[in-house]
Chain A
Amino acid sequence: MKKIEAIIKPFKLDDVKEALNEIGIQGMTISEVKGYGRQKGHKEIYRGAEYVVDFVPKIKLEILVKKEQAEEVVNTICKASNTGKIGDGKIFVLPVDDVIRVRTGERGADAL
């Protein structure tokens, strides 16, 4: 099993969600996060006072899938969240040792 973590632009969330839905991804966890990479923050000036955005708002998606499915999910997210500009985000793929469904105690792929 793999955990796929994707950092995307907030306005791309709906597109990504829809695209993942189409390939049969049922569930995901999202969170509002802030950070910076190559797309550094910037500042705005209002009446001489500076307002710095040092961390850029992003959305983080977390999806657990079977190993075989990981590549497809990564490609789908990549395609759906691409704007061609900097700040489009990053995708991480991590190995997952085990998954447990709390209600039933099911383990492994059954619990996905």
Chain B
Amino acid sequence: MASVKVNIMTLTALKYKKIENQIDKDSTELVFKRKELIEQFVNRKESNSIDVLRNTIYIQELDFIEPYTRIIDEYFQNVFAKSKIAKEMTLKGNPVAIVALGGYGRAEQCVHSDVDILILFEKRLPENTETLVKEIIYPLWDAKLETGYAVRTIKECLAMAWEEFDILTTMLDARFICGGSHIYSILMEKFRTKLTNRYTHTSLNRLIEQSQKRYIDYGDSTYLLEPNLKSGHGGLRDYHNIVWYARIVSDIKCRRDLEHYGFLSHDEFKTLENSLNFIWTIRNMLHYIAGRKCDQLHFEHQVELAKIFGYKDKNGHKAVEIFMGKLHSKMDFIKQINLMLTEDIQLSKRARIFTSIKRATNYKGIVIRERRLEFDSIEMIPHNLDLLLKIFFESGRLKKPLSIEARRVVGEFAYLIDDKFRKEPSNVEVFEEILSHSLWEFNVLNVMLTTGLLAKFIPEFSLIINKIQYNQYHLFPVDKHSIRCVQVINSFRESNTKNSNFDKLSSGLSQNLNNNFDESNHPNHLYAEICKELRNKKTLLMAALLHDIGKGDPAEEHSERGSEIARKIVMRSGYSQADIDEVVFLIKNHLFLIKIATRRDISDEETAVFCASKIEKIALLKKLYILTVADSMATGPKAWSGWTEALLRDLFMKVMGVIKDRELATKKAAKTIQRKKEEVLELSRSIALKGNSYSNDSTKLLIDEAKLLIDEANLLKELDSMSRRYLLYVSASEIVSHLNLYKQLQNRDFLWKITSEDNDNSEIRTITICGNDKPGFYSKLAGVFFLNGLNIVGSQAYSFGSNTALDIFKVMPPKDKIFENEKWQKAEREFQQALNDDSFLERLIDKLPKTITPKSGHIPMPNEVRIDNETSSFFTVIEVFAYDFPGLLFAITNVLYKLGLDVRVAVVATKIDQVVDVFYVRAIDNGKIDDIKRQEEIKIAILNALPLITN
């Protein structure tokens, strides 16, 4: 067996040699002509490219793809005419037909496209097919043309077509080149008969399945940064789908037939032709500069192509942005057409029986026919312009698409929309409904955009249509991004119920990032909760739609500019002043939270207080938060990840805590703080001037004045760094004295100052201690006072800067006042000792009472410790209810210190005879104590340190 094979091989090799020279000539000619054509294409593009690409006129003659197809056709015809084997086959009664398939079959051959060939026989394959293949295919390989071929009989072709969908589609594109034309005719006739009789529905199903799979594989390429011109959504494959669909149902012969057979209207076909030309031109040039078959438009090529096609920077927009914007609008059109026809296919499968039965909708003049929304009669529209808006509302509400005809009608009548129409309250209301009905799976706003109605209703929107931002961050043109933002918000509302598409989207996003952090609680739940609580959503949705409207004008900061444009729009729409302010605020600050979350220390209470005092209202904060999240999600995976999400959510919760608290962030608080700062400045100025008044030297005065100014600037800086809590609760004169103390502190461990109340009768002494903040500072102070028999009646703890503690204690003076000063000095020494030696105060613990008997007449209340994590976002609040006794504060704070908790704020108050001491503590790691077990430990430790209550 083996030897026979070898013989055949050598035999064919010999035969091949004989004809080699002639074929060589043909393939050389092909190579030459191809080169010539490509050069012509490239050079012409360079000379008058702008005309070609900007041309909106219907171009009948295609620049490259058709002539190139003809050149290849010629090659086959020439080679075939010379082929002895082909003649031999015909003589033997088994002729061959050469058939073009795929893109070559459609006569749409690009620079580096594959050449797909079917070598077709009627009933059986002759023995010498291999020689034929060598004759006609090998030269193409030598010429470096990617060539694929199949040798089949009619029967095989048909069988495979129903098995493999890819083969079916290539058959749909089949085109006869040369050889026995009757074989081709037989194949096509049988193919068509079977297709129409038996396989129409299965084929259509497969067509839809196939494209859905492709969308998953390639994503929605229309707005990808590096779109795939062929396989992406909106790419050429979408157009192929349209052709295949048309060929499956009606045997169209050429592209033009799409219009003639009624698949597309005249305008649609014109626009399709135009879009295809644009994409083909780019694809050919891309093949050419890449030097290979390459359909993904990478960044580096985008810039190059924009340059080649003569795009120039204009009005602050980069050439490449304008170029890509144009490309996206073309791809979007193809995508839209494909979507509409897909809807057609689904319709024709499911709803044949319903044809032409009209159903009414909520609005007279709008009807449902064949599951599409249509205008009942076009004559009505000029007198009932509101129908143009209402059809979109109905579409969103009923989740039914507009018919192609209805879309065309909207587009044609849109010019009638004027300011009066835009101001009409009922129209504004309908538009708001449309906004809240724009969902992922049913994008009614997008349809409104593509028909041109959106830009007519909000003319300012046209500034951002197809506006591309050329960077890695923004995936979508501004208009699409804005609409996506609205959709994201609507999907939050839906996500509790059924919206699985959205979950897919967000999980897709995190997959893109390879973010495998498993957060147990799905954050979308939080957004859904928040959205549910929002009452007036129209301001949020309006702000979402318009938040980037300022990007049309690249010269200015877009949030600022956008908020002004939006103000005009909502004023025209008759919004109340409060609503106008809200929309303006949201747009102006739509980057505020994300900036703070990523650029400020959000574990610092001051950051949250700063945000809270700017936003003020909880409802507004929620809206701003949702807008921020939706904006980031709608931008793309680079802008939204679990990382950003965690930061932003943390900030949101903290700001909300502060606003709820309502003391640090109110307008009144802000005013008080401002006033206090001024007072402090005033005070310190007068003190400084007093010091100078004795000097007569004018130069010295000048120097002092300059010094004063510097001092004041420093002082202001210091004041800004102080916590609001402190500025709010401490008087200006006290602040000045604290600052003095702070200045004198220098390298010492601590410094204290004892004052008695102005009222001489008062027994109470105020001890202000400024010191290096170390763990235990507060508890040791309490201990020293206890050691010296000084009864603490109140205390406040603050910090200055990051490392300095400022504690204020109110204590009863020693009963024996004769040597009061000496007693204070002793306490001061002991405090120093306690700071140096942790065990110094240990002996005190034994001195604490073991039991306590409350005053008679009351049923004794048990000691109680409550731990509260909700009041503050920054601290765990520990409340201790206990009967007062000397050393109580020490007993509690000593336990807290030993547990490694840092006391930041302490409020001590007496209630009848039971005291309530409140401590704002943080764990050593600067966080709240979340762990339930740990909370129990703390409770038990404090309770154990308190004396037992006896009767």
A interface residues (Cβ-Cβ under 8 A, vs B): 9-11, 14, 32-34, 38-40, 42-47, 49-57, 83-87
Contact = CB atoms under 8 A, between A and B. Distances in A.
B466 interface: no
B802 A84 contact: yes
B599 A42 contact: no
Nearest to B926: A86
B924 A11 contact: no
30 contacts: A11-B598, A11-B599, A32-B641, A32-B644, A34-B642, A39-B925, A39-B927, A40-B925, A40-B927, A42-B927, A42-B928, A43-B930, A44-B650, A44-B873, A45-B870, A47-B529, A49-B521, A49-B525, A49-B526, A51-B521, A51-B653, A52-B521, A55-B517, A57-B643, A83-B601, A84-B802, A85-B802, A85-B926, A86-B925, A87-B926
A34 B925 contact: no
A40 B529 CA distance: 27
Contacts of A43: 930
A42 B647 CA distance: 12
A54 B521 CA distance: 11
A50 B925 CA distance: 21
B647 A83 contact: no
A38 B925 contact: yes
B930 A14 contact: no
Nearest to A36: B925
B520 interface: yes
Interface in B565-603: 598-603
B646 interface: yes
A53 B521 CA distance: 10
B536 interface: no
A34 B925 CA distance: 17
A34 B601 contact: no
Contacts of A51: 521, 523, 526, 649, 653
Contacts of B643: 32-34, 57
A95 B618 CA distance: 52
Nearest to B518: A54
Interface bin, chain B: 20 to 34
B601 A53 contact: no
B597 to A, nearest CB: 8
A39 B526 contact: no
Interface in B636-687: 641-644, 646-647, 649-650, 653
B519 interface: yes
A87 B925 contact: yes
A11 B651 CA distance: 13
Given A42-B927, A42-B928, A84-B803, A34 B649 contact: no
A44 B649 contact: yes
A-B residue pairs, 6 tightest by C-beta: A44-B653, A32-B643, A86-B925, A86-B926, A84-B802, A57-B643
B869 interface: yes
Contact of B646 (A34, A45, A84, A86): A34
B532 to A, nearest CB: 10
A32 to B, nearest CB: 4
A45 B927 contact: no
Nearest to A50: B521
Contact of B926 (A34, A39, A49): A39
Nearest to A56: B646
Contacts of A54: 519
Contacts of B930: 42-43
B772 to A, nearest CB: 12
B599 A55 contact: no
Contacts of B649: 44, 51, 53
Contacts, number: 76
DSSP class of B's interface residues: helix, strand, loop or mixed?
A: loop
A53 B924 contact: no
A50 B517 CA distance: 17
A62 to B, nearest CB: 17
Contacts of B525: 49
B510 to A, nearest CB: 12
A53 B650 contact: yes
A51 to B, nearest CB: 6
A83 B802 contact: yes
B529 A53 contact: no
Contacts of B644: 32, 57
Interface string B915-936: 0000000001111101000000
Contact of B869 (A45, A47, A57): A45
B875 to A, nearest CB: 12
Nearest to A12: B601
Which of A11, A53, A84 is the most central at the interface, judged by chain B CB atoms within 10 Å of its CB? A11
Interface in B47-82: none
Contact of A57 (B647, B803, B925, B927): B647
Contacts of B924: 86
B240 to A, nearest CB: 38
Interface in B451-471: none
Contacts of B802: 83-85
B821 to A, nearest CB: 36
A85 B902 CA distance: 12
A34 B517 contact: yes
B646 A53 contact: yes
Which of A32, A33, A51, A87 is the most central at the interface, judged by chain B CB atoms within 10 Å of its CB? A51
Contacts of A11: 598-602
A55 B603 CA distance: 14
Given A10-B647, A49-B521, A49-B525, 16 more contacts: A10-B599, A11-B600, A33-B643, A39-B926, A39-B927, A46-B526, A51-B523, A51-B526, A51-B649, A52-B520, A52-B521, A55-B517, A57-B646, A85-B603, A86-B924, A86-B927
B67 to A, nearest CB: 40
Nearest to B513: A32
Contacts of A34: 517, 642-643, 646
Interface in B505-526: 517, 519-521, 523, 525-526
Contacts of A42: 927-928, 930
A10 B598 CA distance: 6
Contacts of A55: 517, 646
B520 to A, nearest CB: 6
Which of A43, A46, A55, A57 is the most central at the interface, judged by chain B CB atoms within 10 Å of its CB? A57
A78 B114 CA distance: 58
A34 B517 CA distance: 8
B550 to A, nearest CB: 25
Nearest to B600: A11
Nearest to B657: A44
Nearest to A45: B870
Nearest to A53: B646
Interface in B868-916: 869-870, 873
Contacts of B602: 11
B521 A14 contact: no
A9 B601 CA distance: 8
Given A44-B649, A86-B926, A14 B529 contact: no
B850 to A, nearest CB: 37
A17 to B, nearest CB: 12
Contacts of A53: 646, 649-650
Contacts of B529: 46-47, 49
Contacts of B646: 34, 53, 55-57
Nearest to B802: A84
Nearest to B601: A11
A85 B525 CA distance: 32
Contacts of A52: 519-521
A82 to B, nearest CB: 10
A51 B657 CA distance: 14
A69 to B, nearest CB: 28
Nearest to A82: B802
Nearest to B525: A49
A83 B600 CA distance: 12
Contacts of B521: 49-52
B460 to A, nearest CB: 34
A53 to B, nearest CB: 5
A56 B523 CA distance: 16
A38 B926 CA distance: 10
